[in-house]
Structures are given as C-alpha cells and as structure tokens.
Amino acid sequence: MFGAAGYLAKLKDEYTKAVELNPKYSDARFALVQFYAAAPGIMGGSYDKALDQAKAIKAVDPVAGHRAYAFIYSQQTKPDLAKKEYADAIREQPKSPKAHTFFGQYLVDTEKNYTAASAEFETALKADASYMPPFYYLARTAALSNANLPRGEEAIKKYLAYTPKDNEPTLASAHYQLGSIYEKQGKKTEAKQNYEAALKLNPTLKLASEALKRVS
C-alpha cells in the first residue's frame, strides 16, 4: 500500500508539473481528475480538487470536460449524473466523434450495453471516418459481447494499419482484440499469432499472455 502511495504521488507530481508548464494540457489535467477522484483521502484523493481540474478542462475542451465530470460522478456512484454529462456533450456537439466515442466507452464499461455502444461508435465514424479510435472500440465491443464479430474484425484491421497518437489504444492492445475475435471464431492459429504480436509489442500485457495459454 505504501509503495503504491509513493508511486501514485510521483505520478501526481509529474502531471501537476505538466499542467504548470501548459495549463491547457487537458490530458494531464484528466490524469489528475482520475487521481483525485479515485485515490483515497489518505493518499491525496479529493473530489473538490478533481472537480477543479474538470472545470479547467471544460474551459479548454468542452467535450473532454464533460467526460471528466462524468468520471468523477461515476466514482461517486452517481450514474445518472455521469450519463447526463455524456448526453450533454452530444447535445452540444452532435457531430463530435469524440463525444460519441466517450459515451460508447461508458456504455460498454459501465452499463454493458453493447448494442447501444456499437451504435455510438458507428455514429462517431459517420461524423469523421478519419478519427480512428472508434474502430478499436467497435472491435473491443464485438469481442466482449461475442457479437458482430465480422464487423469487429474489419474495424480492428483498419486500426492496425494506423499509427496511434498519444492516449489512443496501442497496437499491442489492438492485436489482443483481434486475437480475441479470432479465438471466439474458433480460429486458434490466427488468435495465437495476434496474441504473440501483442506480447512482442508489450511483454507486460497480461491479458494477452493469459489468452496465449488458452490457444497454445
């Protein structure tokens, strides 16, 4: 516990320095939101400080700001308020691919509503087909739900032909998702190849190492 506390404190300090150097750096501020909202009080957690960071994010990037508030409300076990933040982001910017993608992620991870989530990712791509993360999340949703596997396979192959930006899903994770889809389709050889590719890119990817044991 104390080792984790020290590590988290160092992370917080680095993100704080990043914000000091660039107050408009929303990704660093969102990392602080996650820290303050999720960490226990004894380790420096504070909902008030998290809300301050969310407010600053919203001033720079309203869609990301709504996501930050939604994260805080989720940590506070206020799902109605969290969902409202995503709905407000879409209402304010209905053609924002990020708004639909963020909401889709929430629907997958919190509500397990895979059908609605997939619809949000498809809407994101209709808004901007060059915004690549929805392709990844379509595949992840297909793998988790064991549904729409051909669409998931098609989507993740497009993502694998792309070089992800900072804070976008990694190619290691993408290979894992493709491996998972192949595994569910009964294609163990193809699944094994992608789990191995995932581990080559990220040897610490535990999900891939566990999956590789299943298909070997």
Q: How many residues would you count in the chain?
A: 216
Whole-prediction pTM: 0.90
> Do 163 and 181 meet the contact criterion of CB atoms below 8 Å apart?
no
pLDDT digits (tens, 9 = 90+) for 79-129: 999 999 999 999 999 999 999 999 999 999 999 999 999 999 999 999 999
Where in the chain are the domains? 1-93, 95-216
Which fold would CATH assign to domain 1-93? 1.25.40
Residue 7 has pLDDT above 80, yes or no: no
The two domains 1-93 and 95-216 share their CATH topology (first three levels equal): yes
pLDDT digits (tens, 9 = 90+) for 182-212: 999 999 999 999 999 999 999 999 999 999 9
Cα angle 91-136-146, degrees, rounded to a multiple of 5: 100
CATH class of 95-216: mainly alpha
- 176's tokens: 């894992």
Residue 6 has pLDDT above 70, yes or no: no
pLDDT digits (tens, 9 = 90+) for 21-52: 999 999 999 999 999 999 888 888 999 999 99
